């Protein structure tokens, strides 16, 4: 290894490895000489040999000191070179530390800039295209900054500020409208809460006027509500009579009387019964469709339920009435006084078990009141049941109970919409009376015309009114 050294302003090359080899050789030579000197003293050889050895060892010591001095000088030169080389390294290290400090400073500044909260944090500005399209010219034409991007941002912020000011004004206006509407709603709620009592008082106060003018609107509404609880036959009678009164101004009055609670209970019972019957019908159909597990593989057949015997039906159950009744007041169309205008009052009842409608005179001051309704149409005394099914239900007694005030007249069944077939064909009965073909056709035509007349409310009311007038004339 050669090292260039500067000493006294000059440079020299020193082989450090050669110096260490020379030092090692001098040390080995000194050890050999010392070993020889010990051997001479031990063997008692002549001392003349010791002088030469001492001279050689001294020369070795001088060489050692010279080599040692050269090594020390070399070490000092290396240290000086090291110190000289450390100066640029330290400068570079200081520059590196300065750069790292500046880097950290800039990083902190960038982070602080990123985390810096401006005056408009989280503001959702309108898109730039919409701003250019919709912003007013005074905002777009103003110059707020030399930086184009910053200037555009400031303009967009001004546009957003103007929009928000307008929205604040609109909000205040809407708040005032909302407050006014809330006050109006509160006043109307207060009025609506007191409206039922006012309507009740108005309704009570208007009753005398309604009676005076003959327009009983309250009673009419109540009657219509009660009509919904009527059985279908009585409802048909009520609707036809009411339609006749409204359409042609017939001088009649209608009322629905009876126990409303019992009628409601009967309606609910009938609805539950219909629902149960439909459920049982579906279940029985499913059971009939299911195959039987018997050996022959045939399907199971249910026996029909036995109808209740005629002996089990009580007389009161047979003539059981529906809780509601339809009252018909027939007035005199020629009378001027309202008190003397009422001629007769009829009561329509529905027998639930027999499915027929019975009619009777309500105000029976005289005994033969049923004579007015008896034979109102030919062969209609009201003592014979109009339906074959009703006769079968009653059993041995084929005639209606004469002790009751109401009778099942045929014209009442026609008015109620209850259609039934006669027991004997009209053509056969006409043939028994006369053998001529002309008589049979005339009888059939007469029966058809009579049937059509019986379906008309006007014909029935007119006949009852005429018969009542005739009876009053006789009395």
Same domain, residue pair 363 and 258: yes
Same domain, residue pair 338 and 449: yes
Give the separation between CA 329 and CA 345, rounded to whole angstroms: 4
Bridge partners of 6, per DSSP, are 11
Reading the block at residue 300, the tokens are: 């199971």
Q: What is the pLDDT of residue 1?
A: 43
Give the separation between CA 466 and CA 338, rounded to whole angstroms: 18
- Least Cα distance to 413 among 449, 444, 451 occurs for 451
Residue 258, domain member (yes or no): yes
Q: What is the pLDDT of residue 397?
A: 56
Q: What is the pLDDT of residue 101?
A: 96
- Least Cα distance to 411 among 443, 389, 379 occurs for 379
Query: Within 214-294, where are the H helices?
Result: 217-227, 232-248, 260-289
Residue 324, domain member (yes or no): yes
Give the separation between CA 157 and CA 159, rounded to whole angstroms: 5
Same domain, residue pair 321 and 172: no
Residue 303, domain member (yes or no): no
Same domain, residue pair 85 and 199: no
Same domain, residue pair 107 and 137: no
Question: Is 187:195 a contact under the CB 8 Å cutoff?
Answer: no
- Least Cα distance to 6 among 84, 58, 104 occurs for 84
Domain-terminating residue out of 76, 93, 115: 115
- The CA distances from residue 325 to 39, 262, 358, 455, in Å, are 166, 12, 10, 20
Cα angle for residues 112, 116, 121 (degrees, 5° grid): 160
Same domain, residue pair 263 and 409: yes
Domain count, the chain: 3
Residue 285, domain member (yes or no): no
Residue 282, domain member (yes or no): no
Same domain, residue pair 135 and 224: no
Q: What is the pLDDT of residue 72?
A: 87
Residue 70, domain member (yes or no): yes
Helix, strand, coil abundance in the chain, percent, nearest 5? 65, 10, 25
Q: Domain limits at 170?
A: 125-215
Domain-terminating residue out of 115, 137, 167: 115
Residue 44, domain member (yes or no): yes
Same domain, residue pair 402 and 417: yes
Collapsing DSSP to helix, strand or coil, 368 comes out as helix
Residue 294, domain member (yes or no): no
Query: Within 146-227, where are the H helices?
Result: 148-213, 217-227
Same domain, residue pair 109 and 139: no
339, exposed or middle or buried, with CB in 10 Å at 0-12, 13-18, 19+? exposed
Same domain, residue pair 87 and 129: no
Same domain, residue pair 161 and 238: no
Reading the block at residue 146, the tokens are: 């030399």
Same domain, residue pair 234 and 381: yes
Element (H, E) at 95: helix 48-115
Q: Cα-flanking dihedrals φ and ψ of residue 361, to 5°?
A: -85, 130
Q: What is the pLDDT of residue 45?
A: 72
User: What is the model's pTM?
Assistant: 0.49
- Least Cα distance to 389 among 351, 354, 346 occurs for 354
Q: What tens-digit pLDDT sequence spans the chain (475 residues)?
A: 444 444 444 445 567 788 888 888 888 888 888 888 888 778 777 767 777 778 888 888 888 888 888 888 888 888 999 999 999 999 999 999 999 999 999 999 999 988 877 666 667 788 888 888 888 888 888 888 788 888 888 888 888 888 889 999 999 999 999 999 999 999 999 999 999 998 888 878 877 876 676 556 667 777 888 888 899 999 999 999 998 888 888 889 899 999 989 988 888 888 888 777 777 666 666 566 555 554 444 444 545 554 444 444 556 677 788 999 999 999 887 765 555 578 899 999 999 888 889 999 886 554 445 578 888 888 888 887 777 777 777 765 556 666 677 888 888 888 888 876 666 665 655 555 555 555 545 554 555 455 555 557 888 888 888 888 888 888 7
């Amino acid at each position: 290894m050669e090292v260039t050294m500067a000493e006294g302003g000059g440079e020299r090359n020193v082989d450090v490895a050669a110096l260490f080899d020379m030092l090692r050789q001098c040390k080995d030579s000194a050890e050999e000489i010392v070993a020889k000197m010990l051997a001479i003293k031990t063997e008692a050889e002549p001392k003349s040999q010791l002088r030469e050895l001492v001279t050689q060892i001294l020369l070795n010591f001088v060489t050692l000191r010279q080599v040692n001095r050269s090594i020390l000088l070399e070490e000092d030169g290396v240290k000086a070179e090291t110190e000289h080389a450390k100066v640029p390294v330290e400068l570079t290290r200081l520059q590196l530390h300065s750069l790292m400090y500046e880097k950290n400073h800039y990083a902190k500044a960038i982070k602080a800039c990123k985390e810096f909260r401006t005056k408009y944090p989280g503001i959702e500005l309108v898109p730039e295209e919409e701003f250019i399209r919709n912003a007013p010219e005074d905002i777009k034409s103003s110059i707020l900054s030399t930086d184009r991007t910053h200037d555009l941002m400031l303009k967009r912020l001004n546009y957003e500020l103007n929009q928000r000011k307008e929205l604040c004004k609109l909000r205040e206006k809407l708040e005032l409208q909302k407050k006014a509407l809330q006050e109006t709603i509160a006043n109307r709620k207060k009025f609506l809460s007191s409206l039922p009592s006012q309507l009740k008082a108005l309704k009570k106060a208007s009753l005398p006027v309604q009676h005076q003018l003959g327009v009983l609107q309250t009673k009419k509404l109540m009657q219509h509500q009660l009509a919904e609880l009527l059985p279908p036959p009585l409802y048909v009678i009520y609707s036809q009579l009411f339609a006749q009164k409204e359409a042609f101004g017939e001088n009649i009055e209608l009322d629905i009387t009876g126990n409303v609670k019992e009628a409601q209970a009967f309606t609910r019972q009938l609805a539950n019964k219909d629902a149960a019957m439909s459920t049982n019908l579906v279940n029985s159909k499913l059971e009939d469709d299911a195959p039987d597990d018997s050996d022959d593989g045939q399907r199971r057949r249910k026996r029909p339920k036995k109808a209740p015997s005629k002996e089990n039906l009580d007389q009161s159950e047979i003539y059981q009435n529906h809780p509601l009744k339809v009252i018909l007041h027939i007035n005199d169309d020629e009378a001027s006084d309202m008190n003397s205008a009422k001629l007769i009052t009829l009561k329509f009842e529905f027998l639930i078990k027999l499915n027929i409608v019975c009619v009777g005179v309500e105000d029976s001051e005289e005994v033969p009141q049923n004579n007015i309704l008896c034979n109102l149409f030919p062969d209609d005394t009201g003592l014979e049941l109009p339906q074959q099914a009703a006769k079968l239900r009653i059993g041995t007694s084929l005639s209606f109970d004469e002790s009751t005030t109401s009778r099942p007249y045929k014209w009442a069944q026609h008015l109620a919409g209850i259609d039934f077939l006669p027991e004997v064909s009209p053509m056969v009965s006409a043939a028994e009376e006369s053998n001529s073909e002309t008589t049979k056709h005339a009888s059939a035509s007469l029966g058809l015309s009579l049937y059509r007349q019986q379906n008309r409310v006007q014909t029935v009311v007119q006949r009852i009114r005429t018969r009542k007038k005739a009876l009053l004339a006789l009395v």
